[in-house]
Structure formats: structure tokens, C-alpha cells
Structure 1
Amino acid sequence: MLNLPFPVRDANASSGSEGLGNLPEWDLSDLYTSPDAPELQADLDWLDKECASFAADYEGKLAGLTAAEMLTCVERNEKISQVSGRIMSYAGLRYYQLTVDAERAQFMSNMQGALTEFSTPLVFFTLELNRLDDDKLEAMFAENDALARYKPVFDRIRAMKPHQLSDELEKFLHDLGVVGDAWERMFDETIAGLEFEMEGETLNIEATLNFLTEQDRSKREAAAREIARVLGANIKTFARVHNTQAKEKEVLDRWRKMPTAQHGRHLSNHVEPEVVEALRNAVVDAYPKLSHRYYELKRKWLGLDVMQVWDRNAPLPMEDTRTVHWDEAEKTVMEAYAAFDPRMAEIAKPFFTDGWIDAAVKPGKAPGAFAHPTVTNVHPYVMLNYLGKPRDVMTLAHELGHGVHQVLAAEQGEMLSSTPLTLAETASVFGEMLTFRKMLDAAKTKEQRKVLLAGKVEDMINTVVRQIAFYDFECKLHAARRESELTPEDINALWMSVQAESLGPAFEFMDGYETFWAYIPHFVHSPFYVYAYAFGDGLVNALYAVYAEGGEDFQEKYFDMLKAGGSKHHKDLLAPFGLDASDPKFWDKGLSMISGMIDELEAMEE
């Protein structure tokens, strides 16, 4: 690959947001130097030939392979995944930097189309694997250790065995996948193109949502009402996207004989439905002692008779509203990581120095934040929309945790590095916790400690309570869509049914809030993804309790867990720490940490 002496700059690159310092931006040349780079074309040509060659060599023949031949087959399949993953990572990251750019959207769509076409002949691979005899596979694993390393991959593929369709139908559905992707793109482009009028300026949704954390209550209210106005004006489009996506899922689930709409996500997460149900029930049962109790405290702090939705993420009256410069954010997170283990800071360092983070808010850039692992022979990329809020520092700590996890897991290779969603939040939430504890220890006054504790409780409520409410909303949405087409009003009603229950009696809900489901991307891109946040937070709270108690060799065990990637089940990963997520009491342990922080906040009022 061509190594240029300078980073590839983006068309929408800027020197950084006002007053925040020199915010880093991506250098995507570690993937490809440009959309017309010869290396990219070479990879496309290789994929086209290799996919056809792979099918010619193995289709209809898997049952007759020796263990050594099966290993070669798996390794060739892994290489195909790596090259195609590199291409789509580049196309996707470029697109997310400027989602309103027609050329980038076209390029990503063209790459998706080409890769779908190339990979159609490979559909046989998982279908034939699932027809292999269990005893034959076990004998192969016993004979060849290198092949046995891939057993978790085989297990995950074969979990779909009861839901597999005919070879011809599977190929048809594979080809049809591009159509479903088009609805996701429509959602992304609609969200990115929305315009909100605030204080005489035209803003995107990310900048407008940021007003909901303003100290000035009138600005928060204005932002909430403007979001409601714009979402309301576009609600038919969002309802159409959700209806179509949910109906497509219902058809696929019916053909695959999935018992519930959630079941496919549980299979891909390698987690038992009863474990998710135990988590969900533990959180819902805890609403009164968590969110209801905390928001009642916040209502008093804000001096309100009743809270409105624009007060949910309001800063506290005594909160420091200063802007956190990028250099300070970097220093805070890096010091917290280094204090836990110097190796963690060492892994995080190139994210800041080598163009692995894109931090500034820019017109047309995708909202939110993420860490994308790309492929195991490159490195992850982190996207932020950094506005200098104290919580933006926690977002940096969170996404950097993902990045560290992805770097460590990369040594497992393409097929084993990917962590199920339930465990994918482990390092990110742990990184946040380390950063929070460092800031809490540095608090000089009772008020500073109170603000930090309240902020952390709010983040945990947003991660645990809010995401489980989202999960319940999705469960209701998909169940209702199985019965009938849903009007925007139908979806609005489902949304409101979970909001009051989760937020509690301290709140009143303005007209228009019923449409706020419309901007949440997870519902469209990854149905039922959201419970993974609550799973991760509960898991990390339990993990952190072991760390705080001085668990023996904790750092080594923690690094081993991250290095394992997706090569082990959650039971095996947690066993060295004496934890078991299938035990309902496990979730109470995590939730009690949040409850304990609220206890401390209540004690400060006395």
C-alpha cells in the first residue's frame, strides 16, 4: 500500500471547533489512500476471483474434507472477510464523515453492491457447515489444534442450524440484503439532512440535541420543542422506515422459525434468552430505586414542581459549565488509563497521535460517537462529536475503551476477534469508570463530588434504565408490527408507554415528545442492540466491584478477557473473576452500585 508522507485530508476537514483546541481528524490512508487507489482496485479484483475460486474448490465438498483441508478452507474464508472488511470500513468511514455528500454515498453503495455480488457464491459455506455431523466435527477438532481454535466460530454458525433455509433461498436473501441496507441509508441521510433553527442559526440534530444539556432552561425548552417540530414534520418518513424494517424482519423471522423477534439478536450475541430476561426484569424492578428516586432528587435541585423532558439531562444548578479543552480531555483519560495499567495508556496513545480519532463537529458528519474495529491487520477508528462538555470527556473514555479492546482482540484474527455485543461494552464502560473514579478522587469540595456523582448516576441511568426502556419499546414495536401496519400515532403511543414507566412520577411530557423515538439509529441499524449497553454496564459494575475489593491479579485477568475477543462464552470470560451473568443476583450486584451512589447523594441532602 502506498504510504504518503502526509495524512489524507477530508473535504470537510476543519482546523477544530472554536476554543476546543486542535481536534484530531481521521487519516484513512491506513485503509486506502483514495477511492480510486490502485490498492483498492487490486483488492476488489482479488475478491472477485477468490470468491469464485473458493466456491469452485469447496461447494458440495465440505463433508469430505480432512481436518487439515478444513483448516485451509477456514483460513481462506477468513482472508476473504478481511479484505472485504477493509473495503467496507473505508467506504463506511468516509461516508460517515460527510453523509450528505452524494459521491461518498454512491461510492459506499457501489462497494456494498460489488461485495454482495462477489460473496453470493459463498453462501453455501455456512449452509454446508450446518449439515456436517457433530461427531465428524468433534473428531476434526481433536485431530487438529489449529482448527480447534475456530470452534467458537463453528458453534456460533451452527446455532443458526434450526433456522436455516434452503440453499437457493439463502442465496436469494443474501442478494436481497442490499435493499434492506437502502432503508438504513435513507434513515441516515434523512437524519443528517434535518435542519433545526436555534437562536438564528440553522443546525444539525447533534448540535441541537446538545442544547438539551444547556444550563439555561429556556434554551433547553426551545431545543426540545424545535426537535419535536422537525421530527413531527418528518414523522411519516420515519414511520415508513420502521414499518418496512420491522416487516422485513417479521418475514425473515417467520421463514426462519425464530420464536421471537429478539431471538436472532440473542443468537448473534451468544447469550441465552433467559439471561437477557433476567437482566431486563432486574432493571425494570429497580426503576423505583434508581431512576424514580434520582429524578425526584434532581427535581428538588432544579427547584421545580415537576420536571419536563428537557430537564432530564440538564446540568445541576451548582455544576461547572466550563468548556473542557481537548488537551485536558486527552490528559484526563490517558492518566486514568495509565493509573490502572501503563499498557492500557500505551495502546491508547496512537489514537491521539496517528489520526485514529475524528473529533470535531462538522456539517453533514454523522451524529453520535463510535469505535469501528475495521479489520485485524489495520487498527480501529474512533468517531466523536466533541463539544467540550464534561460528559464528552466520558464519551472519549468510553470510545477509547472500545478501541483498546479492539486492538487487543485483533490478535485472535478476523473470525474470532469480534466480540458479541453483550461483551463489546465491557472495556468501554470500564474505561469510563476508571476516568470517573480518577475525577471523583480529585474532587476538592463536597459540591464537586456531588456534581460528579450525579453526572455518573445520570450516565448509568441513561445506559441501563433508558436502554432497557428502549428494548421494551422495540419488543412492543415488533410485536405490534406482526399484527398490523403501524401509523405514526401507533408508534408514538408505544414510545410513551415505556417512557413514563422508566422515568417516573417526577416528569411531565410535553406535546411532541412522543416522536422522539424517530432519531434513535439503533432501532433501524441493529434491532435489539440496546440491551447490550445495560448488559455491559451491569457487567462492568460487578467487575469494578471485584477490582475495588483488590481482586488478585485483576489487571492480568482483565487483559486476558479483552484479548479473548469473541473466542470465549461470557461464562468462561467471567469465571476467573468469580462472576456468573446467568445468576439473577449478578445483575443486582451491578444495580446496587448505582443505588449506592444515589444513597450517597441523598445523604448529602441531610
Structure 2
Amino acid sequence: MFSQPLTTLPTRLNAEAAGGPGELEGLPEWDFSALYAAPDDEKLTADLDWLAGETKGFRSDYEGQLAEKSPDALATCIQRYEGIQTVMGRVMSYAGLRYYQNTTDPQRAKFMSDMQDRITAISADLVFFSLEMNRIEDERYTMLIDQSAELRRYKPVLDRMRAMKPYQLSDELEQFLHDQSVVGAAAWNRLFDETMAGLEFEVSGEMLPLEATLNLLTDTDRAKREAATHALIAVFREHLPLFARITNTLAKEKEIEDRWRKLPTPQASRHLSNHVEPEVVQALRDAVVAAYPRLSHRYYALKAKWLGLDTMQVWDRNAPLPTADDRVIGWDEAKDTVLDAYAGFDPKMAELAEPFFTEGWIDAPVKPGKAPGAFAHPTVTDAHPFVMLNYLGKQRDVMTLAHELGHGVHQRLAAKQGELLSSTPLTLAETASVFGEMLTFKKLLAQTTEPEKRKALIASKVEDMINTVVRQIAFYDFEVKLHDARRQGELTPDDINAIWMSVQAESLGPVFEFVEGYETFWSYIPHFIHSPFYVYAYAFGDGLVNALYAVYEEGDPEFREKYFAMLEAGGSKHHKELLAPFGLDASDPKFWDKGLSVIEGLIDELEAMEA
């Protein structure tokens, strides 16, 4: 339960949705002083020494005794556990963030691996805690909670822990899985990251890293987009056996653990960690798939018409419209745009975002070896979040900034819950980020009066929503099919390619032709490697925010107060509790249709412009 290492932290892959190169100087980089001054910082050494002693003392004081502890004694135990989690999270956040800045630097990679080894060894003394908590009989657990206000505060996180009770293995097996993790999934994740960061793609005689090559897929020049696609295909094909081996190994490892735990489906563990019911996710998935013809199929047919094409190739999917603003947007303008949009909602929101720009909380430049995509990592509650971008000055980069700052604001507000309760389940973790994007889009739209530029802006937002909803549900279906197929045996690269193409054709629609080689594009998506079945959280968040924003536009006078209260709750409440004040219920299948209707309405508006 300690803070998630950065090697397993999902990123928002803004590839295929960012801009080309520009003259961008003076972009901010991270200042790690809130964590540690350097890898040889005496504070880091002292923290590791303290952890080694404290975890052994914790085990000595509590192992074999949790079920007999009084409510107050158990509350004290959990508070000690939380303190340990905070220090471990600080260590791994520092190691992981430095590594993501340059994954090809051997010293950073070694430091990260060494810290991972140390923390895994140290935290072995904590494995008993969740196992024993889950063995407490339900009747006694209820009594303990009822008799202690402090324990009641921790109930949401304890309930999530106890949700794994039916799938818990023996103490020895749980200890083994913990100890071998550094040479299991974590090692394969690292191999994937380092391989991706080291790839180079030849485009028109120039060697480019992955991020810059993917960025060319949004170039105004169709020939450049096509050349970039073929460059990607050539390198993905060359490395396909490795990516297939990584995927097969991780899927098999997951199948083995799921089988031993008797989990009903490959995605069940993700639903449990997200504290969301499987039927809610299924309702979301079914609603989106049923809407493919009304959303992506209809929009891409419209886009083909705008581009003067009878059929679209994959390199046209994220092509800018002829009327789109293709200028390079400077960092200061991007900052002002997002902060103004946030302040227009509530000055408090802009105030919470401001330190990211002034205190070294953002790492924005594209650099050799830097991980692709973007993320916001909360680190620990007594420090502050860190945002990573690969900023290239396009409008969609500004939207990515708005997205990640939304995460950062959410993480700052939730920090008051403490280390164990601040972490928001993935289904709600995208709420503030997507809301921040919506605020920024609405501000830009209000400032845009020229019809062609307005059309381009709306189209850009529709594409972002399709990428967030339709594309992520297609990714989810890809994972479901892949893990089901892997249970029947080893998957060849061609097997995985075929599964990928089955969801691509279904989700993108009949207007597309698929160039030979596009079937390999599953291989670079980090979510499949780092966090299986993470991707539906994006669609969940977008649908939720669309419904939430509709409530905001209806003029609820208490909306801002309710919104900040929802973010401040962190992981202390279930999604039903958090959405109830807004009159929303994600377990209602009709809920998702409301969110999807927002996208449909924007496409209606685009079609009306053609009339």
C-alpha cells in the first residue's frame, strides 16, 4: 500500500495528440528539494535506516496480535503504519521521478532499482498487517470500528483492504509474492520503459525519439504524417518479438496469481482496487460500444469530408483541420490560459495551481531519455505533487497541461486526508483532470468567434473526447480479449496483432483503411504493461465529468463548494457518496448515456456548421 513507484505509474500518453517542434526556451524542470537534495542526501540515508528499524519494531509489536487489540491500540497501530508508508513513498517517489527524467541514464536506473530493492526488503516486515487485518472476524471488525472514532476515519481504506479477503493466499505465499516482485512485473516494466526510451525512428533522414515521432502524426503535412507512421511501423516490427515476450510474460504472471487467488476475471483485481462494481464498468463499456456509430464513426466520416478524402488512413486520425491554429504556443501563454480558466471557475483553483509554475513542480521540456507522455504524481502528503509533460507548444499540449494540473490540484486538496486516505481510486482520479480540460476548452471557445476557428476548436475537443472515451474503451476490450486468449496459451505477435485490429476496426469505423503494419501499434502503449485494465478509468472520468459539468452549467449555486468537497475527500468515500450531492449515480446505466450525449451534441453542432 505504499506510494506507487513511478515505474508502475500510468502516464497520460499525449502522443498522437501533441504538436511538432518549436523554439521553446526556458521550460521549467523539477526541483526535488521537497523530497531529497540528492541521491547521497544524509536525510535519505537516515530515512532508510529509520524504516529498517521501524518496520522491524512494528512487526515485533503487532504480528499475531491485531485481532486481540483494543480499538484505541489498533488505531495507534494504523497510525504507525501510515507513518511508515509516508517515508517509503517519499523514497520511491524521489527515485522514480529522477528515473523518469532520463530512463536511459545508467546511474538513475541503478539508483531506482537499488531503492526498489531496499524498500521491498524493508516492507517485507509489513506483509503480515493486511493479512491479519483481513482475518479479523466481521463481527469483531464492526465492533472495533463502532467503538473508535479514529478507526472509523480509516474505515474506507480498511474496507478496500478487506475486499481482498476472499482472495487472500497463505502468509508464506503472500510473503513470496512480495519478495519476488522486484524480479517479476517490476523488472519487465523497467525493460519496457528503457527499451521505449532508447528507440529511434528515421523520418526523412532525421533520427527522432518516440515522442517527437508520434508528434508528427498531428503535422499539417500529410506526407510527414505518413512518413512518421511508416517509421513507427518499421521500428515496432523490429522490436515486436520483445514486446510480445513482455506482454505474454506479464499476462501469464497475472493469470497465475489470479488463479491462485481465485479471482473471477483478469480485470477483477482492478475493479477491487478502484472500489467500483464490475457491473458499473460493464455498463460504461456497453454504453460506449453501443455509441460507436453515433460518435467515432460519425465524426471521422465528417472529418474525412473536411480533409477531402473518401477514406482515411491511420495517419489522418489526428490530423489538424485545415483551419486549425498551428502556431507554437509559448509557455507563458499556456500558463496564463490554464490559470485564467481555473480562476474563472474559482480563484481558489488557480491559487492551488500557481505553485506548480513557480516552485519547480513541473518538468516540461522534451529531453533525450525522458519518458513519453505526461503524468501528475502525488508523491507523499507532507510534500507536494510533481507534474511531468513533454511540452511542444501545440494547443493540445495546453490541454494536457490543464489536465495534469487538474490532477495536481486534486492531489493537493486530498492530501489533508493523510497518506492512507488521500489516494483516490482511478475511477475518480480523472475527475479533476478532465474537469480542468473542460474549463480550459470552454474558456477558449468563448473567446473564439470566427466560425472556421470555432469549428476547429470544437473538432479538437471532440477528438480529445473520442481519444479519452472511445479509444480507451477499445483499449479495455483489447486487454480483455488479450488476457482471455493468453489463458489458452502463448500468443504469437500475429495473435496479438489480430486482437488489436479487431477492436480498432470496430471502434474507428468504416471510413478508415489500415495500412499494413498498423497492427503493431499496441506495442508502445505503456498502460498495458504498467497497469492492466487501467484505461477504462479515462472513459469513466470523462463520462462522469460531462455529467458533472452539465450540473455546473445548470447553475447550482452550491456547485463549487460541493466540487471542492469532493476533491478534498480523496479516497475517503465511495463514488456513490461523492456523486450524490450532485444528484448523480454512476451505477445507473442511463448515467453514461448522459455523458456520451455531450460528445454527441458537439458532433451535432459540427454537422450543423456544414448545413
Please give the secondary structure, in 2, of the residue aligned with 1:475.
helix
**Cα deviation code 1:53-100 (max 9, x no counterpart):** 100000000011011100110001001110000000000000000000
Decide which of 123, 146, 149 is 2:150's aligned counterpart: 146
Q: Which residue of 1 aligns with 2:141?
A: 137
The alignment-based identity, stated in percent, is 71
2:65 aligned with 1:61, yes or no?
Answer: yes
Please give the secondary structure, in 2, of the residue aligned with 1:275.
helix
Amino acid at match of 2:353: A
Tell me whether 424-433 or 315-324 shows the greater mean CA deviation: 315-324
**Paired residues for 1:175-324 under 5 Å:** 175-179=179-183, 180-324=185-329
Task: State the distance in 2 between where 1:501 and 1:604 align.
Answer: 27
2:368 aligned with 1:363, yes or no?
Answer: yes
**Cα deviation code 1:87-141 (max 9, x no counterpart):** 0000000000000000100100000001111111211100000110122222222
Tell me, yes or no, if the aligned pair for 2:22 and 2:328 is still in contact at 8 Å: no
- Give TM-score scaled by structure 1 length: 0.97
2:119 aligned with 1:118, yes or no?
Answer: no
How far does residue 318 in structure 1 lie from its aligned partner after superposition? Answer: 1.2
For CA contacts below 8 A with separation 6 or more, give which structure has more relative contact order: 2
Tell me, yes or no, if the aligned pair for 2:204 and 2:227 is still in contact at 8 Å: no
Amino acid at match of 2:39: P
Q: Which residue of 2 aligns with 1:464?
A: 469
Q: Which residue of 1 aligns with 2:13?
A: none
Please give the secondary structure, in 1, of the residue aligned with 2:420.
coil
**Paired residues for 1:370-519 under 5 Å:** 370-519=375-524
Q: Which residue of 2 aligns with 1:74?
A: 78
Task: State the distance in 1 between where 2:141 and 2:254 align.
Answer: 32
Task: State the distance in 2 between where 1:327 and 1:77 align.
Answer: 42
Please give the secondary structure, in 2, of the residue aligned with 1:234.
helix
Tell me, yes or no, if the aligned pair for 2:31 and 2:359 is still in contact at 8 Å: yes
Tell me, yes or no, if the aligned pair for 1:21 and 1:327 is still in contact at 8 Å: no
2:570 aligned with 1:565, yes or no?
Answer: yes
Q: Which residue of 2 aligns with 1:12?
A: none
Amino acid at match of 1:124: F
Task: State the distance in 1 between where 2:605 and 2:391 align.
Answer: 30
Please give the secondary structure, in 2, of the residue aligned with 1:419.
coil
How far does residue 527 in structure 1 lie from its aligned partner after superposition? Answer: 0.1
**Cα deviation code 1:511-555 (max 9, x no counterpart):** 110000000000000000000000000000000000011123000
Q: Which residue of 2 aligns with 1:88?
A: 92
Amino acid at match of 1:260: T
Q: Which residue of 2 aligns with 1:174?
A: 178
Tell me, yes or no, if the aligned pair for 2:427 and 2:541 is still in contact at 8 Å: yes
Please give the secondary structure, in 2, of the residue aligned with 1:19.
coil
Amino acid at match of 2:316: D
How far does residue 319 in structure 1 lie from its aligned partner after superposition? Answer: 1.1
Tell me, yes or no, if the aligned pair for 1:116 and 1:174 is still in contact at 8 Å: yes
Task: State the distance in 2 between where 1:133 and 1:150 align.
Answer: 17
Task: State the distance in 1 between where 2:258 and 2:423 align.
Answer: 24
2:32 aligned with 1:28, yes or no?
Answer: yes
Task: State the distance in 2 between where 1:273 and 1:30 align.
Answer: 39
Amino acid at match of 2:457: L
How far does residue 18 in structure 1 lie from its aligned partner after superposition? Answer: 5.2
2:607 aligned with 1:602, yes or no?
Answer: yes
- Give TM-score scaled by structure 2 length: 0.96
Over the aligned positions, Cα root-mean-square deviation in angstroms equals: 0.7
Please give the secondary structure, in 1, of the residue aligned with 2:487.
helix
The runs of 5 or more residues in structure 1 that have no matched partner are: 1-16
Please give the secondary structure, in 2, of the residue aligned with 1:307.
coil
Please give the secondary structure, in 1, of the residue aligned with 2:202.
strand
Please give the secondary structure, in 1, of the residue aligned with 2:174.
helix
Please give the secondary structure, in 2, of the residue aligned with 1:382.
strand
**Cα deviation code 1:6-27 (max 9, x no counterpart):** xxxxxxxxxxx85224211100
The runs of 5 or more residues in structure 2 that have no matched partner are: 1-20
Tell me, yes or no, if the aligned pair for 2:22 and 2:393 is still in contact at 8 Å: no
* Structure 1 ranges of 4+ moved more than 6 A: none
How far does residue 146 in structure 1 lie from its aligned partner after superposition? Answer: 1.4
How far does residue 305 in structure 1 lie from its aligned partner after superposition? Answer: 1.3
Q: Which residue of 1 aligns with 2:540?
A: 535
Please give the secondary structure, in 1, of the residue aligned with 2:387.
strand
**Cα deviation code 1:470-522 (max 9, x no counterpart):** 00000000000000100000000000000000000110000110000000000
Please give the secondary structure, in 2, of the residue aligned with 1:407.
helix
Amino acid at match of 1:207: A
Task: State the distance in 1 between where 2:299 and 2:610 align.
Answer: 12
Task: State the distance in 1 between where 2:397 and 2:539 align.
Answer: 20
**Cα deviation code 1:384-442 (max 9, x no counterpart):** 00000100000000000000000000000000000000000000000000000000000
